[in-house]
Amino acid sequence: MGGDHGPSIVAPGIAQAAQSLPGVRFLLHGDAAAIEAELAKHPKARAVSEVRHCDKAIGMDEKPAQAMRRGKGSSMWNAIEALRANEAHACVSAGNTGALMAISKLILRMGADLERPAIVANWPNMKGVTTVLDVGANVQSDADQLIEFAIMGAAFHHAMHGAKRPTVGLLNVGSEDEKGHEEVREAHAILREAKLDFDYHGFVEGSDIAYGTVDVVVTDGFTGNVALKTAEGMARFFSSEIKSTLTSGPLAMLGALIASGALSKMRKRLDPSRVNGAPLLGLNGIVVKSHGGADANGFESALRVAVNLARSDFRAQIDRNLQRLTAAAAKDEAPASGQDQGAAE
């Protein structure tokens, strides 16, 4: 029921997913009359869907605290409850991001040894796709949280993009060891020595995201969200400028016609709907946030992210790396027996 368009994009998105993701079924929570009206237009979606009626829906402008107080029994709350009850393997919502994060954390809780969830984004680059996190869940993050984000991001990239040993970088204002604030330097020092299921590259800069220097870029939610919104704005700017230039006169229009195939390919490459679907990593369950303005293609993309994660072992990979990190920290903190004996004597 959330997002800019509600059931009118969910139903056709499911119809497309029914073809691209055979065998998947959907529980749709919300106003049954509104949902059924849209499903009637898409028989393929109707065939794989079950509708569960509820009268309440979380508004897009509600504060997280307000949503948690009045959210019980809403479509968002019930969808996440279905996930906790093992009636579903994943939850997808285009609704209020803050409310989705707060209610998910309340109902599902965090995974073992994880402190905070992170929102991850798929970012097109010159080589393919970069995984970037956090892009909005946490305004500030300390060194331990940045390390958790690195572990979660690497597991996500492995599950979604097939990299056996993803490369991970910490976003910073320079690549030198002395650059950046204390938290990012501390995380850098620990990741450099840790033996985990990914290759730690070191510091990366903003331009490295588009270059594809590493598979996973880790940062706090404030910086990540600003970078993401800036990139989205620049993509729209360039798209508008190219369109304006190619329609500026007869010769330009002729050139556009000749290059139409290449331009179409570029447009698809930069289409945000291709990479829609931002998981809330770290929870005891798979929750994927779809962009509120997504169309049917974009919502299908978010569904595909949820299904691929549900079919992967990314949560087990996160647990393995956290255990290795904990074991390494315990080993470093354990005093040498000889030193203890000497001190006693």
pLDDT digit string (tens) for 162-173? Answer: 888 999 999 998
Give yes or no for residue 249 having a pLDDT over 90.
Answer: no
Can you give the pLDDT at residue 331? 67
Instruction: Summarize the chain as % helix, strand, coil (round to 5).
Output: 55, 15, 30
Give yes or no for residue 322 having a pLDDT over 90.
Answer: no
Q: Are 289 and 99 in contact (CB under 8 A)?
A: no
pLDDT digit string (tens) for 58-99? Answer: 988 888 888 888 889 999 999 999 999 999 999 999 999 889
What is the rounded average pLDDT of the residues 188-213? 90
Can you give the pLDDT at residue 269? 63
Can you give the pLDDT at residue 342? 47
Computed over every residue of the chain, the mean pLDDT equals 86
What confidence tier does 340 reach under pLDDT thresholds 50, 70, 90?
A: low
Give yes or no for residue 345 having a pLDDT over 50.
Answer: no
Can you give the pLDDT at residue 100? 92
What confidence tier does 332 reach under pLDDT thresholds 50, 70, 90?
A: low
For residues 321 and 310, what is the distance between their CA atoms, to the nearest angstrom? 19
Q: Are 134 and 221 in contact (CB under 8 A)?
A: yes
Can you give the pLDDT at residue 13? 95
What stretch of H or E contains 45? helix 43-47
Identity of the highest mean pLDDT range in 46-50, 125-129, 209-213, 246-250: 46-50
Closest CA to 151 of 329, 322, 286, 330: 322
Can you give the pLDDT at residue 80? 96
Closest CA to 200 of 325, 45, 64, 108: 325
Least confident of 122-136, 203-217, 319-333: 319-333
Looking at 247-336, list the stretches that DSSP marks H as alpha helix, in order from N- to C-terminal side: 250-258, 260-270, 296-310, 314-333
Closest CA to 309 of 324, 295, 289, 292: 289
pTM equals 0.81
Can you give the pLDDT at residue 87? 96
